[in-house]
Structure 1
Amino acid sequence: MITTRIAVAGAGYIGQAHMAALLQSPTCQLAAVVDPSPGARPLAAQAGVALYTSLEEMIEKDRPDAVVLATPNQLHVAHAELCMNAGLAMLLEKPLAPTVEEGRALVRMADEKGARILIGHHRAHSPIMAKAREVIKSGVLGRLVSVMGSALFVKPDHYYADAPWRRAVGAGPILLNMIHEVHNLRMLCGEIVAVQAFASHAVREFPVEDTVAINLRFANGALGTFMLSDTAASPRSWEQTSRENPAYPTYEDEDCYVVCGTDGSLSIPTMRLKTYPRSEDRSWWKPFEVGVVGMIRQDPITHQMEHFGAVARGETQPLVSARDGLLNLEITDAIVRAAKTGRVIEINLS
């Protein structure tokens, strides 16, 4: 079988995850690593591939079939433009750009060039999310009413010391973490049309936030609340509940989302389902039928890489398009603006 040669630019945490997925892929192979930092050299050597200090050098000397762009957020646009001009398919990590304006320009360029871009919202490839969407779409919950979500965890101090850009404007947990949650919430409950938020940086005192309380309104009338913090000692985050990434300790009895409808609720990722057996019996004095939805747990990064290989070969369209990535960025930007102004920010879906 001819495998798809994919280079990884950026050998940080997420870049290393992509490298690992490529090294075990049956349809793709790691072609090269692109990173100017000294720490990238042993990683490339261990993987048995060439190391380049720039994308330009790699494209000139050993052009791959596609590129994973796992570089710092501030470099996403320049690197994406370089890959588009070279005609290379790309898996572009989220956010697709540091600002909405740059994201819109990137999407326009992608449309003009017919670029093949998959945005790295890897949870879109999670079997847990696929099953949750299936349950909600089945109608067993009735009409959607609300969603409660959280991403509460503690990032250690060295996370910021190792990469100071993470504490600068253009990073922070809203863009680095909440943007994942935005895409999950859109998959589960539909389009988000308005947001409110309070933000604080009282604990870390960085220029960016460390804790945010968010309200959401969906196009179908459902409402949502979300708590986000990278300094809250809690396991109620996707990483610590989904059991998809062995790098994180997990807690089987914890959830990070509860989706509620008129007939029942689904807790995710435990997949505990509580429903009323008949609509006429809906009442807090009546007992629920209680069960757990069966599903499998697999690494979504692995699924994402197989999908990206198919996108690079022209076999399928991206599950998360550049326009999806832009809308996720616009919503997270709206959350930032809502926190700064105290206003409700409406989302333009047109």
Structure 2
Amino acid sequence: MKFLVVGPGLIGKKHIELLSEHSKAQIEAIVSLHPDRHVALKEEHGVPIYGDIDEAISKHQFDAAIISSPNECHLEHGVACISAGIPCLIEKPLASNLLDARELTLRAEASGVLVSVGHHRTYSSYIPLAKKILDSDSFGKLVAVQGSALFYKPKAYFEAGSWRTKKGGGPILINLIHEIGIFRYLCGEVVKVYAHASNSVRQYEVEDTVVISFEFDTGCLGSFILSDCASSYKSWEMTSGENSMYPYFPKQSCYHFSGTNGCLDFPSMQFRFYKGTPSWTSDFGDSTPELKVEDPLKAQLEYFIECVESKKEAKVTCRSAYKNMLVIDAIQRSINEDKPVYL
């Protein structure tokens, strides 16, 4: 299967690595906004690097594409692939703004071309097990959830891509978008948010710290704290063990789900529940299910290739990714207007 890779940046290089290791995949060409910066990549993989996606499409026959260019380029690159009938995997977020995301969604749905969106945590080994526990009688009805994504991004991260300091490049769109996908799958659709943000530490155009309260259509209430300038291990990256580039704290969690009969620390998967009548004076039973952790990015690529081959629907469609962005947009509006926003 001949692949076009658009955007050989931080995540793009990971996609290139996974494609190189896959028996059914072949990198046919790469598109970069700055081809001259990727001479080593060109020599390593023996493929041409173009500065324009239309030129690449005109000179090659592609079976599929992975789009990991800067967020503001997703619409242009996504439309180019859709127009050429090339199935594509577009990195999250779907686009840098709601209008672009809506247009991509409508174009994808009208064309019938397979478009999958890279919310790779959907393919995490933890998610199905968490869903099973939250739906169980031992857990009861979901009442509340607490979540966090606290980590420190070094100066080099921003120097490697100055767009990360600008509107649309901050942790709300880059990192929180992952959490919204998890929230919607495990807790229900978001119906109200109230958020506050600060950029007082780095003083970039974008936020560096955010706190949010959520209300879900299931009746569950939630809170989340996000920061990319906080020295902490309370994040998915450091508590899941799915990515070896981050330190791993296997006994720690970044989510706590509370139900009427039990609670789940996630992703440590420590499940506590009442064996008899629930009471704050009673002790809990507990269980920590065994789980084999696999690389969700690898699982995502495998599923995408299956979709291309069998013509089945993407696990994360443009429509689902657009709904994630509707929540992100509501959070941004809540911050800007300093009031709750209903969806």
Specify if TM > 0.5. Answer: yes
Shift of 1:102: 1.8
| 1:68 corresponds to | 66
Alignment of 1:280-295 (within 5 A): 280=277, 282-295=278-291
Q: Which of 291, 297, 300 is the equivalent residue of 1:301?
A: 297
SS of the counterpart of 1:96? coil
| 1:118 corresponds to | 116
Work out whether residues 270 and 288 of structure 2, in 8 Å CA contact, stay in contact via their aligned partners in 1.
yes
| 1:8 corresponds to | 5
Please list the CA deviations of residues 17-37 of structure 1 after superposition, one character each: whole Å capped at 9, or x if unmatched.
111111122333323222142
| 1:339 corresponds to | 335
| 1:31 corresponds to | 28
Please list the CA deviations of residues 248-307 of structure 1 after superposition, one character each: whole Å capped at 9, or x if unmatched.
1111221111111101011111110101113x2x11111100121221101000000011
Please list the CA deviations of residues 299-322 of structure 1 after superposition, one character each: whole Å capped at 9, or x if unmatched.
000000011112222442100000
Could you list the structure 1 runs, at least 4 aligned residues long, displaced by more than 4 angstroms after superposition.
none
How many pairs are equivalent?
342
Q: Give distance in 1, aligned partners of 2:37 and 2:136.
A: 48
Q: Give distance in 1, aligned partners of 2:261 and 2:150.
A: 28
| 2:15 corresponds to | 18
| 1:312 corresponds to | 308
Shift of 1:219: 0.5
Letter in 2 for 1:346: Y
Compute the TM-score of the two structures, normalised by the length of structure 2.
Answer: 0.97
Work out whether residues 147 and 259 of structure 1, in 8 Å CA contact, stay in contact via their aligned partners in 2.
yes
Letter in 1 for 2:27: L
| 2:126 corresponds to | 128
Work out whether residues 138 and 274 of structure 2, in 8 Å CA contact, stay in contact via their aligned partners in 1.
no
Note the aligned Cα RMSD (angstroms). 1.3
Work out whether residues 273 and 284 of structure 2, in 8 Å CA contact, stay in contact via their aligned partners in 1.
yes
Matched, 1:235 2:233: yes
Letter in 2 for 1:241: T
Matched, 1:271 2:279: no
Q: Unaligned stretches of 5+ in structure 2?
A: none
| 2:197 corresponds to | 199
Q: Unaligned stretches of 5+ in structure 1?
A: none
SS of the counterpart of 1:39? helix
Shift of 1:57: 1.9
| 1:325 corresponds to | 321
Q: Give distance in 2, aligned partners of 1:287 and 1:28.
A: 53
SS of the counterpart of 1:77? helix
Letter in 2 for 1:269: P
Q: Give distance in 2, aligned partners of 1:48 and 1:263.
A: 58
Q: Give distance in 1, aligned partners of 2:211 and 2:303.
A: 34
Shift of 1:46: 1.7
Q: Give distance in 1, aligned partners of 2:45 and 2:267.
A: 33
Compute the TM-score of the two structures, normalised by the length of structure 1.
Answer: 0.95
